[in-house]
Structure 1
Amino acid sequence: MRRSSRLLNNFMRSFSFHGQGPGTSARTARGRTDRVRDGERRRIDLATFECRDISRSTVLQRVCYDRAHHDLVVATGGSYARYCGVAAETADRLLGAPSMGQFFNQNIKREAPGGRYDCGA
C-alpha cells in the first residue's frame, strides 16, 4: 500500500464514529452533560452522542452522532441542527470527506422542514 493511502486510511479511522480512534464525549470538564438548543430553540441533550470539535471546516464547527438512535447534531454558523435517521456510514463519510461543508450541504442539510432527515416535532 502506498504511503499516502495508508495515511488517508489512518486519518479516516481516527475520525470514524465506529472505530476506536480518539474522540470526545459530550461531557464537560466538570462531568456535566452538554445540552444545546437547535435553531428552533428545542433542547438537545448530548449525553448519548459522541462529539467532535471540527477545526478543518469553514462550515461545520462541531459534529455529534448518536449511533443507537442514528441522530446527527451539527453546529454551523454558531447554531445547532439535529438530523434524524442518519446512517453511521453517512456520519463517517462526513467526517472523512475532503470538504466536510460540501459533503454536508450536498448529502445531509435540509432545505425545508419535512425534508430528508427531518426529526418531526
Structure 2
Amino acid sequence: MSARAAIVGVALVAASGSLSAETVDVKYRGPVDLVKFECTGELDSSVVKRVCYNAEHSYMLIRLKQTWYHYCEIDQGTVDALLAAESKGRFYNSNIKDSGTGGKFGCRDKPVPEF
C-alpha cells in the first residue's frame, strides 16, 4: 500500500468516526454531545422514546416523543426503575417529571454539568 493510500484510509476512518458522533438538542439547555452518555436504543413506549445517562454526573437526558429534556442529580436506581417499568410514561410522570417548581430532579436549582 502506498503512503498516499494509507493517508486516505486513515482520513476515511477518522471521518466515519466523526459521523457516528451524536448531538441532541435539549430543551432549556441546547446541544449536548452524547459521547459521554450510556444511551438506550429506541424504546417501545408511546411517550418515552430514548434515555441517556451519565453516571459520573447523575445526569439524564430523556426524549419524550420528539423532544429531549434533562434531569440533574438523578440516581442510577431511578433510571434503572424507569427502564424496567411496564409503563415508562406512567413511571416518568409519577417519579421524575418536573412540577412547576422544578421537581426532585429538575435542573433549575442544581448545577448542570458541562459536556
Same fold (TM over 0.5): yes
Over aligned residue pairs, what C-alpha RMSD do you find?
A: 1.7
Describe how 1:4-83 pairs up with structure 2 within 5 A. 30-32=16-18, 33-40=21-28, 42-83=30-71
Q: What is the TM-score normalised by the length of structure 2?
A: 0.71
Assess, with a 3 A threshold, how the Cα gap between structure 1 residues 70 and 41 changes in structure 2: closer, same or farther: closer
Identity %: 35
**Structure 1 position 81, deviation (Å):** 0.2
Give the structure 1 partner of residue 90 of structure 2: 102
Q: Can you list the C-alpha shifts for 1:2-35, whole angstroms capped at 9, x where unaligned?
A: xxxxxxxxxxxxxxxxxxxxxxxxxxxx333321
- Count of matched residue pairs: 92
Question: Unpaired segments of 5 or more residues in structure 2?
Answer: 1-15
Length-normalised TM-score, structure 1: 0.68
Larger CA Rg, structure 1 vs 2: 2
Residue 4 of structure 2 aligns with which residue?
none
Letter in 2 for 1:100: K
CA contact (8 A) 2:97 2:103 kept: no
Q: Could you tell me whether the CA contact under 8 Å between 2:51 and 2:63 is conserved in 1?
A: yes
Alignment partner, residue 81 of structure 2? 93
CA distance in 2, matches of 1:116, 1:110: 7
Higher helix share goes to which structure? 2
CA drift of 1:41 comes to 5.2
For residues 85-119 of structure 1, what are the alpha-carbon distances to aligned partners after superposition, in whole Å with 9 as ceiling and x for unaligned?
11001100111011111101110111225332122
